[in-house]
Structure 1
Amino acid sequence: MSCGKLLRFLPLVLVLLGCVPQQLGLSSADKKTVQFHYQLGITYLGEGKTPQAIKELTTAQSLYAGSADIEHALGLAYQQKGMTDKAIEQYEKAIGLDEKLTEARNNYGTALLAKGEYDKALEQFEKCLADLQYATPEKAAYNMGVAYFNKKDLDKATEYYEKAIKLKDDNPNALFNLGYIYEEKKNFGKALDAYKKAATLDPSFKEAFYRLGVIYDNQQEYGKSLEALKNAVQVDPDYLAAQYRLGMVFLKTGNMEGGLKKLEFVVKTDPESQFAKDALGELNKQKIVPLKKSTSR
């Protein structure tokens, strides 16, 4: 188990709404067939049924090869399946058919991000932001923050995360990533503020609660640390980094039973957890862990 910083530096991918592509030159019957397979593919995509989505969208593509929407949807399906090169190929086809399909351009950028081609990705996101009719520019701004962070340009990453929040203040991922950058720069006040806002906007954001717990622990504000860490493990009981930290804070506050239970839970769940095993070993040395009673045969 790694007890380090668990982050959300993931690009956002737009989800298609299932709009029907234009089908020029098709008969009425063929249009209905294309529409059926396209809509079914989009439905499967939204349900996470990627193989079925690819099958239906490929059928729609074979019937009508001139639709940017179909190529875009196939790109999303391939990206969802982890086939990044195929996704890039589809996004390039979609953009070639319709340069104004900014949603496809944004997703093209996220696929380039996944391959570590940060400069090429930034070029696509910049084009998204230049499109004044683009409905969700905050996502392109956020993705630019991700790219700059991966380029280790924290100042530029901060600039674009802040831009994303300015464009849409309900943006917990951007707030969280900002918090991480502030934390790296030892600006813990701003980091706490960003993490709190992220957790307020998304009460299931376990990583935000965890980072709050870590900072408060380091500042010896154990009551606040316990509250944040309890929120994290309430969201995800198998969040072992938070369970370990919670156990250690319990020990620091004199709750030996609570601390031992948490550490034992971590070791039982992940026998390779060296942090938790070391902590239990130290407690054994101090004879804090009660020995199991022997039984006679």
Structure 2
Amino acid sequence: MKLNKQTYYTIILLLLLIVSQIFILSGLAQQLQISSNTQPQAIDYLQRAVNKMQEALDTYQGANYPGRKLWIEAIDYAQKALYIDPNFIEANYYLALMYQYTNWYYREAEQWKKYLDLIKGTDLTSTSLQVQQNLAHAYYRLGSNSYQKGDYEQSLTYFLNSIKEYPDLMDSNYWAARVFYETDDLEKSLFYWERVLNLDPNYPRAQYFYDKIQASIKYGKQAYNLYEQGYNYYEKKNFNPAIDSYREAIHLNPRFAEAYYWLARVYFETGDYQQAIQNYRKVLEIEPDNAKAEYWLKESQRQLGTK
């Protein structure tokens, strides 16, 4: 049977529309890495939601609130996708992300929990790196939410689950290190600070915290905190509070050579050379080869006119 030109072009046009729709859906799936077996309309709504989310991020430059126009539209599209398919994993993920960006903390936490419930019922984490990273991020955000509420035990559980899913997630390693320190598990805190440094040797203040934990293990957490407090006072020339802090640190750890050293330094700078001599000698009792203490001991004796 021969087709007239109009019928022929109509069929060609329909075929092109079908093919283009397939490519569009394929492109969306590739762009968003859609793994859910869901309806095309839900994918379309999610793509619109993600586009609006990106537009909102570009437009508002950090001033993100759920009541702003672009965020209202982004959230609405994501909710429409979930209305079509409540089990649409990627839509649950991006809606949680939108709540995160807009600081809608209660809804964010609830949405991450929904996402976790869905993703744990699949085998996607064993086949997709992106899914592993998304799941790790979900655990991290729930951990952050629990930490803000003061629930350190629950936050630590979430952070460690995050690291289990994707060990290289910096934020989860950082906060695991912080929480272990705040709950007085210094050895584990040191372990995770070392992981942070391995991931990024230049990560802000990571080396400081690593050194602080090492010193806290050596001298005691409270003693070292008092020592740091004393040094902060000393730098500001608040000598009396500095003396009190160093003395308290020494009371907690009588073998704390650095605390004796800086206590002696404060006494030297305030002209109390007798006390400076006494404390430099304590340093040398603990560390006989401490050249700096030996030098300042002699200088203190010279100022006092003694040997």
Q: TM-score, normalised by structure 1?
A: 0.49
Greater RCO, CA 8 A, separation 6+: 1
Q: TM-score, normalised by structure 2?
A: 0.47
Considering fraction of residues, name the structure with more helix: 2
> Could you say which structure has the larger radius of gyration?
2
